[in-house]
Amino acid sequence: MFGFGRKADGAPEVKASATGRVAAMGTAGRPVWSPRDVGTLTRVGFTSNPVGFRAVKLIAEAASAVPLVCSDVDGRMDVHPVLSLLARPNGAQGRGEFLEALFGQYLLSGNAYVEAVGAGDLPVELHVLRSDRMSVVPGADGWPVAYDYTVGGRAHRFVVGEVSPVLHVRAFHPQDDHYGLSPMQAAATALDVHNAASRWSKGLLDNAARPSGAIVNGGEELTQEQFDRLSVEIETQHQGARNAGRPMLLDGGLDWKPMGFSPSDMEFQKTKEAAAREIATAFGVPPMMLGIPGDATYANYVEANRAFYRLTVLPLVSKVADALAFWLGAHAGAAVGLAVDRDRVPALQAERDAEWQRIASADFLTAEEKRRMLGLAPEGGA
């Protein structure tokens, strides 16, 4: 009788996958990409990448400084409770800090959440909530019925009533009904490439900022003691940026043969610059404003700055301002409007001066028509 699972001759059975030999022959692995969740993208693309950090900061700071005008059914208002609330949204933040956090969350995750605090017509305080901690609770009809804010295993639920206690501003996402698509996610591949190129540069600096070489033995074979001593000397005396350029003394027929950079090594810097331009493109920032070389799309910095405001900053501010105005108006029970005050945006001053001059010189327009075209209230405030 043969035992179950044992060969007749008693030799142990050799077990191996039929695909093992094929898999073992692979010489190049697949690229490893960072996860696409908000936390990882923020760490990889913002806190650890200078291009992503500067792009987000540049847009958020510029957008938070854009002046807004408030209007209601009576027209433009210089003094309004909504303006007072935005001037000091809460005890810890002023207008600039609040709006910078709001725009920053939007750029990092594609979603921005604002909590209304206080009972009554208009909220007493406004607070920006972290997007990575918020989750939408959809109802049977697909619309959000609540928002869960989770911290350390504990969750607080904001129930959506007649007026939502949470404002959710999200970027366009063609494949998601509840969450927006962030520029950070669109630029994730370029961010990984840029970070990998930076790590390669750091490794090159650690290796004396020069290409590697080989020690060629033209004499007798080294003993183990000589080999160990040579290895220690190279490691302690000739590696690292601190030892860059230090001459090497070789004896016993040894000779140093430097190896030049391979074409792939030489392309690393170009690859890094190309990745940086892709990151800037995803955020809508002209590369020259981030100090990225090799980009001459705009004739000068002034034109690039004007395009930056016209194509990136102002559309973002207008979208968020409209959402804030509708939400705060629903709380107050009255129609409220928030719009960009283009006359007070320095980057657009030349365009506005030309527009003012063109309209002012139009003799076929009445004074009231000119004021209306310039976005001014009727004369006399009527």
pLDDT at 114: 96
Q: What is the pLDDT of residue 253?
A: 64
Whole-number pLDDT of residue 27: 38
Q: How far is the C-alpha of 46 from the C-alpha of 129, rounded, in Å?
A: 18
* Predicted pLDDT of residue 186: 93
Look at residue 237 in the predicted model and tell me its pLDDT: 63
Rounded CA-CA distance 40/42 in Å is: 5
First-to-last C-alpha distance (Å) of the chain: 109
- The per-residue pLDDT for 196 is 86
What does the pLDDT read at residue 245?
Answer: 53
pLDDT computed for residue 121 by the predictor? 81
Name every residue whose Cβ is closer than 8 Å to that of residue 41 and which is 6 or more positions away in sequence.
Answer: 34, 35, 108, 109, 182, 184, 185, 188, 191
Q: Report helix, strand or coil for 344.
A: helix
- The pLDDT value given to residue 5: 44
Q: Is the pTM of this model over 0.85?
A: no
Contact 60, 104 (CB under 8 A): yes
* pLDDT at residue 241, rounded to an integer: 46
Residue ranges, the chain, pLDDT below 70: 1-32, 119-120, 204-220, 222, 237-267, 294-299, 375-378, 380-382
Q: How much is the pLDDT for 348? A: 81
Every domain of the chain and the residues it spans: 31-207+265-340, 213-258, 346-382
CA angle 333, 334, 335 (to 5 degrees): 135
Q: In 10 A of CB 135, how many CB atoms?
A: 14
**Which two three-digit tokens encode residue 333?**
């029970």
- Which pLDDT belongs to residue 135? 94
DSSP 310: I
Residue-wise pLDDT tens digits, 247-280: 666 666 666 666 555 555 556 778 888 999 999 9
Residue 35 · residue 184 · CB < 8 Å: no
Tell me the pLDDT tens digit for each residue of 115-150: 999 866 889 999 999 999 999 999 998 889 999 999
Q: What is the pLDDT of residue 149?
A: 95
